[in-house]
Structure 1
Amino acid sequence: MKTPKLPVPTPMRGIDTAFTKDSVARRLPEILQRALTENELPKTAVAQLTTLLQSIPNGRIRYLPEHLAPELDIWQANIQPFLGQTWLEAPWLFVETYFFRWVVAAVDHFRSGIDPFAYQKRQGLIATDAQIQALLRQANQYIVNGWQPDHFRQLLLADLWGNQADMSMWSVDDETMPNHAAADDQTAHLLTNDATAVLQLLQKPVNQVDFIIDNAGFELIGDLCLTDYLLATKQVGTVFYHLKLFPTFVSDATAFDVESTVAYLSHHEDPIVRATGQRLITYLVDGRLHLVTDPFWTSPHPLWHLPANLQDQLAKASLVISKGDANYRRALGDANWPHATPFANIVSYLPTPTLFLRTCKSEVLAGLSEAQATEMAKVDEDWLVNGRWGVIQLAHAQN
């Protein structure tokens, strides 16, 4: 197993910073309370979720209840090293993935099909319908003009800033959710911008691009829009979406979420939006767009623990596009690296050039200069966590 070139710092925990403590002690209970309010759940599920709610943050980590699930044994083994620790003492990424895995167990998702976050996901589309129409109108015009590097840059920016719509951080109706719809904001709030290097990889048509997908809702629209452009212009032959095995992190996308979003677009009253949906259906039917999943994407492990089958899959791509904050945290082992640590020396284990599109919603970050990190602290006190700053950060595969 390839690992980072540098010694990995200890993964962050809830007790480490004010932000991680708040994330565990306040945000997780709020998410759970919202799920209880927005769903009519079976009494057994309500009882288990209420017990879970009461255990955060000072209760002890324990095994999942017995239920039907394809990776239950794997998850019980993942939990074993942290049994008896509190929610604040165990590693932060483990705690968050464990929390959502408990919610899935409580609602018996693999038998019932219940998605406790479905309401938020639906509202994520409805609330951004005007933005969706505007983005797809622009993208359709770009497609008419064929492959143009500047158009790709614009869609890349749109896809990045769609990551601001994160329902595990802000509910759909939260007015504090950041939004960089204005063109000037989109470039002014970039901490790193490797779009030119990405275009070098795509200067000639390539066979395959893989996306490690993050959120449903408006962010997924950005992914679909960029995918439509790459496939319609024939700059890419095939696209793979790596999706979550079950509903997690509130708005993370499953295969069902992609299919339902495509259906939403294909039945839209706006003819341009409808045309986009119909093209996406064609890609799904003819195999140019593949929806795949693996238990790894809902595990608590760092990205360098990629199983061999995923290593092989990603190695076939000319480019991997990793979306969102949680996938970025996973890539860096959710560790508190000095922000000036060379990014390439951490993700040196990746088998393929990988582009990270991520708005900053946690303190895990690398690849800045010392001067930039110092200056950012003066510009915006909460720059690491408020979602107003983003990265277009490319890591080339290393031998």
Structure 2
Amino acid sequence: MAELPAVYYNKDSDSFAFSTARVRWVKIVQDALEDINDAGAKTSGEAQQQAKVIAGKLQQLLVDFEEDAVVQPLVGGLKQYESYNRALSAEDYTWLTGPWLLLENVLYRLINSWFVEQSHWFNYDIFANLKKESFESSVAGVTELAVRYAQLDKERQSSATGIKPELKQLLFKEFAEISLWGNATDLSLLATATLEDIASIQGAEARKKSEDKILTNDIDLAYAQLISSKEKIRKVEIVLDNSGFELYTDLVFGLFLLDFNLADRVTLHTKDIPWMVSDVNLKDFNVVLSQLKDTNVFDKHRDELDFFINKVEYLFNTGKLTLETSPYWTLDKDFWEISPDEQEFGGSELHERLSSSALVIFKGDMNYRKLTGDRRWPSTTPFSRAIGPLATSGLKILSLRTVKADVLLGLKEGVYEDITEEWGKTNDNKLSWLYSGKYAVISYADGAAH
């Protein structure tokens, strides 16, 4: 293999890493400190004292950021710490100069380590309140999508001739895009009322508008792979990103795949600890369903919301919709080691689990960064080149990624430069479009040797 591009470092002033380490991480730790202080104040005795210990370590972390301290090894007996500490031993990395991807993972694992060592706080999610508040701010989008889903389900069941293949493909593209954007403002196509509307010229115009910001789009390749799968049980895996509204849209996407017989089983893969502030862990599934049942918050269109909740619970109880987690997702490692050769930290088990699936969908920015090694690839580099050994791993990979970091692949010649120039006309930092969340990529690799 040719020499790989360098990874992004927190010292790189031309990268989002630079402000992330100096501004975003500080705010995240300050919010965590406020949360544990508030939670600790509501307890007493040993629990309160333990909360103060955690708060003290968070406070020291803020000092370490300010002083650009050397990142210390993780302390504790968890197997995953061995992987982290090997990576940290390569050099005396400091918080403001070290590798961005590595130290971002270290940050969240370090914070979690302070909780798991305390008997009253080992199961506490320091980011739970932020996730709950974020979801409750999406009432309008949640309700609208529930209504659209219920309408489509009625039409699907009442269609005497069945759903035409071309319409099924259009719906797949739209539900994938809703899952991609994961927010309440991108329900473009499903704002139309009927299946006929979706196939109409009006529907085509809505799709074109929503696709303008998708810089590379391999969705048709992924769909072709999905419908050509010969597995007796067609399985789709979704490696989740954010909780809240995005998890809700992922559930809707999963229901669509099952409803329209594009999958026999859909598995949602969560993180095993509180992670990256808003990432989904196992508890968040029940939290989101519980929030949806709260009539004080979600007080309109209860029939449609209850239909959605009942459908999710039914499919979960029948085993068609499942949840899984793996310690590999919260390692410092990128995803190139999801391989039979990785025998220490779950890479081989995860590869075996995913390799029998018709499609493995990776959601979000951090998963994209780990797929590509978070390296300084030229933007025209093919996605299959930038995912290294995953390109021949046998995994059918679809990445749905809203762009919120520097690494970006698969663009046509000149696209990166054109957007940068246009963005610079109205923004001081002409590269900040890479962190704006206004652009996206849909990238596919078939996992086969070519």
TM-score by length of 1: 0.89
Shift of 1:278: 1.4
What is the aligned counterpart of 1:161 among 156, 181, 188? 181
Q: Which residue of 2 aligns with 1:358?
A: 401
Checking the alignment, whether the CA contact within 8 Å between 2:75 and 2:81 is kept in structure 1 is no
Select 1:219's aligned residue among 246, 265, 270.
Answer: 246
Q: Specify whether residues 49 and 386 from structure 1 end up closer, same or farther in structure 2 by C-alpha distance, changes over 3 A only.
A: same
Unpaired runs of at least 5, structure 1: 166-178
* Cα 1:332–1:6 shift into 2, 3 Å: farther
Residue identity matched to 1:291:
L
Match of 1:34 among 6, 9, 31: 31
Which residue identity lines up with residue 300 of structure 1 in the other structure? D
- 1:89 aligns with 97
> Which residue of structure 1 lines up, in the alignment, with residue 127 of structure 2?
117
Q: 1:303 to 1:387 in 2, by over 3 A?
A: same
Q: What does residue 324 of structure 2 align with?
A: 292
Match of 2:444, SS state, is strand
Q: Which moved more, 1:230-239 or 1:143-152?
A: 143-152
Question: Which of these residues, 339, 342, 345, is aligned with residue 379 of structure 2?
Answer: 339
Query: What is the Cα-based RMSD across aligned positions, in Å?
Result: 2.2
1:311 is matched with which residue?
351
| Aligned CA distance change for structure 1 residues 7 and 275 (closer, same or farther; 3 Å) | farther
1:369 alignment partner, SS class = coil
Residue type of the alignment partner of 1:364 = V
CA pair 318-7 structure 1, distance change in 2 beyond 3 A: farther
Take 1:283 and 1:109, find their aligned partners in 2: how far apart are those partners? 36
Identify the match of residue 54 of structure 1 among 54, 59, 63: 63
Give the conservation status (yes or no) of the 8 Å contact 1:15–1:88: yes
2:89 pairs, out of 64, 76, 80, with 80
Quote the offset at 1:264 in angstroms: 2.8
Deviations 1:256-275 (A, max 9, x none): 11222133335555221121
State, as a whole percentage, how many aligned pairs show the same letter: 26
Decide whether the 8 Å contact of 2:6 with 2:376 is kept in 1.
yes
2:436 paired with 1:394: no
Change (3 A) 1:142 1:341: same
In structure 2, do the counterparts of structure 1 residues 120 and 144 end up closer, same or farther at CA, with 3 Å as the change threshold? same
* Residue in 2 that maps onto 1:277: 309
Residue 17 of structure 1 is matched in structure 2 by: 13
State the shift of 1:198 in Å: 2.2
Q: Distance in 1 between matches of 2:335 and 2:355?
A: 14
In 2: Cα distance, 1:355 partner to 1:254 partner: 21
2:228 equivalent to 1:232: no
Letter in 2 for 1:156: A
Tell me, in whole angstroms, the C-alpha distance in 2 between the residues paired with 1:328 and 1:279: 30
Residue 212 of structure 2, aligned match among 188, 191, 202: 188
Q: Check if 1:137 corresponds to 2:164.
A: no
Go from structure 1 to structure 2 and tell me whether the alpha carbon gap of 1:156 and 1:299 turns closer, same or farther (over 3 Å shift): same
Structure 1 contact 324–358 (Cα < 8 Å) conserved: yes
Which secondary structure does the structure 2 equivalent of 1:52 belong to?
A: helix
- Unaligned runs of 5+ residues in structure 2 are 41-50, 157-162, 190-205, 339-346, 424-429
Aligned residue number for residue 283 of structure 2: 256
Equivalent residue for 2:434?
384
Q: For residues 224-248 of structure 1, what are the alpha-carbon distances to aligned partners after superposition, in whole Å with 9 as ceiling and x for unaligned?
A: 0100111123321011122111001
CA distance in structure 2 between the partners assigned to 1:385 and 1:314 by the alignment: 30
- CA gap 1:109/1:376 in 2 versus in 1, 3 angstroms: farther
Tell me the amino acid that sits aligned with residue 22 of structure 2: A
**For each residue in 1:297-339, what CA deviation from the matched residue of structure 2 results, as whole angstroms up to 9, or x when unmatched?**
1111111111111111111111111000000000110101000
Task: Give the AA of the match of 1:13.
Answer: Y
Separation (CA, whole Å) in 1 of partners of 2:228 and 2:117: 43
The equivalent of 2:48 in structure 1 is none
2:360 is the alignment partner of 1:320 = yes
3-state SS of paired residue (1:242): strand
Give the 3-state SS of the residue equivalent to 1:44 in structure 2: helix
Give, as a single letter, the amino acid of the residue that structure 2 aligns with 1:236: A
Q: Could you tell me the TM-score, scaled by structure 2's length?
A: 0.79
Q: In the TM superposition, what is the alpha-carbon distance from 1:141 to its structure 2 partner?
A: 2.2
Deviation at 1:199, TM superposition (A): 2.2
Flag the structure with larger Rg. 2
CA gap 1:70/1:143 in 2 versus in 1, 3 angstroms: farther
Mapped contact 2:80–2:331 kept (Cα < 8 A): no
Q: Is the 8 A contact 1:377 1:383 kept in 2?
A: yes
CA contact (8 A) 1:266 1:276 kept: no
Q: Which amino acid aligns with 1:91?
A: P
Task: Point out the more displaced range, 13-22 or 136-145.
Answer: 136-145
Q: How many residues align?
A: 379
Q: Which amino acid aligns with 2:327?
A: P
